[in-house]
Amino acid sequence: MNYDAAITVQGNISALREAIKTEAKEMARSSITINEKKGKLVLRVSAKDATALRASTNTILKLLIVHEKMAAIK
């Protein structure tokens, strides 16, 4: 069974892309892709199992949290 999740983010797209691009890769059980659509950043996570989907999604969410906190400091 395959699993997919999409996270759509608005805001400073170029800074978000820079923060997340190191994680946008294909791994053994999951992959993360980044696309821009209508001025929004779309992060798509695909995985072979639910555990891999959760792990990859958590990675993206943690990076988004760090980016949000850093933006608040500026």
Residue 71 has pLDDT above 80, yes or no: yes
Nearest partner of 41 among 62, 66, 24, 59, judged by Cα: 24
Locus of tokens 């500026």: 74
The matching CATH number, chosen from 3.30.450.40, 3.40.50.280, 3.30.470.20, 3.30.310.50, for 3-73 is 3.30.310.50
pLDDT for position 46: 97
Global pTM reads 0.84
Q: What is the mean pLDDT of residues 3-9?
A: 97
Q: What is the mean pLDDT of residues 18-41?
A: 90
pLDDT in tens, 33-67: 999 999 999 999 999 999 999 999 999 999 999 99
